[in-house]
Structure 1
C-alpha cells in the first residue's frame, strides 16, 4: 500500500525514482488517493540588526525612513551657528569650510544622517603646525575602536584588512572625534533610531511587498479550487487547469476577468482580504512608529492626520524644539570640546533668531519684553539674548 509521502509526491506531480512497478504513475492516469495539503505556522522574517542591513532596508528601500532621515539631516545642517568666546570665529570658519571637497553644510548633513542610520559618526581632523586645518567624515562601518588599559578607545582603525590606517588618540587634539547616540547596553557604540524602528520598518516593507504581489495577482487574495466531484482529476487535466489559471487569470492585465468554473469546481478563498486585514491602517501605524523613532511629527512626512495650516506650523515648531535644536547643540558642544586645545574657550550656538519656524515664538517674546516698563533697555536686550549695545545703554 502506498505511503502518505508517496501519495503526496503523486499529488504534487513527482514520481519516485525507485518505485515498485505497481506504484508508478503514468502520463494521463488518475491521481488516486486523497489530496492532502500540509500547513505550518510561519515565522516572521526580520532584517538583520546591523547598520548596513538596516540602512539598505530603510534608507534605500523605504520612503518613510528615507524622507525622515533627509528631513532631520538637511534641516539640522541648515541651522545657522553663531561663534562664541575667544577663538569662536576661527572655529566657525573651520566648520563652514572643513575641507577642499565639501562645505560645512554638506559635512554636517552627512554626519547627522550617519548618526540616525548607525547611531555613530566619526570625524577626522588634519593639523598643520599643531592647528586643525581640515575636517573629514569617516564611514562608521569601516571604523574599529582599540580600547586602552582603562577600557576607553586608545586608537582607531579605519579601513579594511591590510589597508586599515591606525589613528592614535594622542596629542593636544586627538585625530578622531566619535559621536554616538545614547545606548543603554554599550558604553562606546550608539543606538540608532532606525534600530528602534526596525520592527515597524519590516512591517511597512512587508506591507508594500504584499500589496505589490496582490496587484500582480489581479488584486485577488489567495484561494483554492476545490473539486467536489466523485472522480479525480488526471495529471493532464490538473496541468491544463493550472496553466489556464496562470495564463488567463493572473497579472494586472487580467484584473476583473471572470473565472469560469465547470465540472464541480468551486473557489474557496484562503487569505484575508485587504479590508479584513485593515491593511491601510496597519501600514499607516507602522509609518507613524517610524516617524516617532526619528523624532519627526507624522504630519511633516505627509502621513494622515490633522492636515491644517495651524497644526502644520505647530508640528514644525515642535520638530525644531524637540529634535533639531538638541541635536545641533549636542554636536556643536562635542566639536568645541574636541577642538578646545587649539581654539581655546570657543563655542558654537544655534542662532534661533534666524530660524523661520520659531518666528512666532520670537515675536511673542519681544512683545512681552518690550511691554515690561520696569526693565531697562540693557536688561531687555539681555532678556532676548543680545549683548550690551555699542556705545553704552540704548535709549
Structure 2
C-alpha cells in the first residue's frame, strides 16, 4: 500500500477515558485525571497499569514483603534502656485480627497491603474497628485508598477530616500513613503520578517488543527471482527453500539456487534493537525511583555502588530505603500505645551475616559482657540452657556453667585441675 493511500485512510477515533480503579468505585478516580493522563509516549499510567511494568512490580514486591516480614515488637522504655513487652499488645501482635480468624488478614498481610498503598498512592489508611476499656485501638481494618478522601477542616483548625465512600468518619478512627508530601498538604505524593513519563516509556518499550515479536513482521531473509510469480509458485518456492535450508540439521549447509534466484538475509536494524537498551535504562530509573538496589532487579553490573558483600549491600538498603518506610509504621503504632511504650521493627534480621562473622561478633559480645549465652542462642533459634545456666552474663567463656552454678567448691575444682596438670597448688 502506498504512502498516499495509507494517509487517505480514515482512522478510528481515539477516545481518552479514565481507567476504572482497582477498588471498583468510580467516585475514587481523581477529578483532575492526573493518574490517567496520557503521556508523551502515548501510554496511560495509573497505579494498575504501572504494576504491569516488571520493574515497578518487582520494586513494590521487594519493599512490601521486606517491611511486612520484619519482626514487630512493643518496647517499654526505661530511660535509655529498652525492654521488650512479652506478650505484645494486641494492636502490635495482631492488629488486624487474622490470627484466630481467617476472614481478616494477618499482621504480615496487612502491613504488606499498607506498603503497596504507600508505594503506589503515597498514602495508607486503616479504620479503627475496636478499642479497649481505655479507648486505645485494638483492631484495625486496612482501607483501599480509593475509598478514602482526606482534606483540611473548613474551620481552619488545622485538623484533617476524612470520608469513606462519601460518608464522614471521625478523625480519631483513621490511622493515616503518609509518604512524601508537600508543605501544608493533607495527603502524600504518589510516586506513580510524578514519574508517569518514565514509567510510560518502559511500558511503551515492552509494548513495542511484544508487537515486534508478536506480529512477526521481521523476516530472516527474502528470495528474489526475476519476473513475476503467482501465489502458487511463490508458495512452492518458499516451502522448497525452507525444507532444504531451515532447521538444525541444515545448519551451515551449502545452498544452491537456480533460475536467477537470490537470497538476501535481513538483520535487525539498530533502531529496532534499541528497545533492549531502553528497557535496561528504564529498569535502572525505576530502581532509583523506589530506592531499590539495582542488583535486586537483575542489574548485577552495579552491585558495587551499594557496597561489597551481602552485608554491606543489605546495610545500604536498610539505611537509605527501608528505614524511611519502617519509621512510618513505628510512628503510627507508637501513637496508639501508652507512654513510655513504643513500637519498633527488629532490623537485625536484615543484617544477618555468615556463620563465621556472627560467631565472631557473639564472642566479642560475651567478652564485653553485653550478651548472655541464652541471648546468643536465641539469635541462632536455639533453646536456652537448662537450669538457667545460660543466663549468667559473668559465666566463663570456655564453660557453659560456672562451678558455683553446679554447687561445686571453686577451690576443690582448682586443686583438682592443678593436680591433673602436674602442678602444685
- CA gap of 1:282–1:9, structure 2 versus 1, over 3 A, is closer
| Among candidates 150, 154, 159, match of residue 156 of structure 2 | 150
Q: Which residue of 2 aligns with 1:350?
A: 345
Q: Which residue of 2 aligns with 1:94?
A: 91
CA positional deviation for 1:150: 3.0
CA positional deviation for 1:181: 0.9
| Among candidates 99, 117, 123, match of residue 120 of structure 1 | 123
- Once the two structures are superposed, the pairs formed by residues 1-395 of structure 1 within 5 Å of their partners are 12=8, 43-48=40-45, 53=46, 55-59=47-51, 61-85=52-76, 92-100=89-97, 101-128=104-131, 129=133, 130-148=135-153, 149-150=155-156, 152-159=158-165, 164-169=166-171, 174-184=172-182, 187-218=185-216, 220=218, 273-274=269-270, 278-305=274-301, 311-312=309-310, 314-337=312-335, 339-340=336-337, 343-355=338-350, 357=352, 377=369, 394=394
Q: Return the alpha-carbon distance in structure 1 between the equivalents of residues 372 and 217 of structure 2.
A: 66
Q: Return the alpha-carbon distance in structure 2 between the equivalents of residues 363 and 194 of structure 1.
A: 44
CA contact (8 A) 1:76 1:325 kept: no
CA contact (8 A) 1:196 1:293 kept: no
Q: Return the alpha-carbon distance in structure 2 between the equivalents of residues 10 and 275 of structure 1.
A: 23
CA positional deviation for 1:285: 0.8
CA contact (8 A) 1:207 1:283 kept: yes
- CA gap of 1:364–1:282, structure 2 versus 1, over 3 A, is farther
- CA gap of 1:147–1:275, structure 2 versus 1, over 3 A, is closer
CA contact (8 A) 1:73 1:112 kept: yes
Structure 1 unaligned segments of length 5 or more: list them. Answer: 1-6, 15-41, 222-239, 249-255, 257-266, 385-389
Q: Return the alpha-carbon distance in structure 2 between the equivalents of residues 106 and 131 of structure 1.
A: 22
CA contact (8 A) 1:200 1:286 kept: yes
Structure 1 length as normaliser, TM-score? 0.62
CA contact (8 A) 2:90 2:138 kept: no
CA positional deviation for 1:333: 1.8
CA contact (8 A) 2:151 2:186 kept: no
Secondary structure of the 2:197 match is helix
Q: Return the alpha-carbon distance in structure 1 between the equivalents of residues 367 and 361 of structure 2.
A: 10
Q: Return the alpha-carbon distance in structure 1 between the equivalents of residues 112 and 288 of structure 2.
A: 20
Secondary structure of the 2:130 match is strand
- CA gap of 1:316–1:393, structure 2 versus 1, over 3 A, is closer
Secondary structure of the 2:203 match is helix
- CA gap of 1:180–1:13, structure 2 versus 1, over 3 A, is closer
CA positional deviation for 1:155: 2.5
What is the RMSD of the two structures over their aligned residues, measured on CA atoms? Answer: 5.0
CA contact (8 A) 2:73 2:345 kept: yes
CA contact (8 A) 1:111 1:137 kept: yes
Q: Which residue of 2 aligns with 1:31?
A: none
Secondary structure of the 2:177 match is strand
- CA gap of 1:177–1:358, structure 2 versus 1, over 3 A, is farther
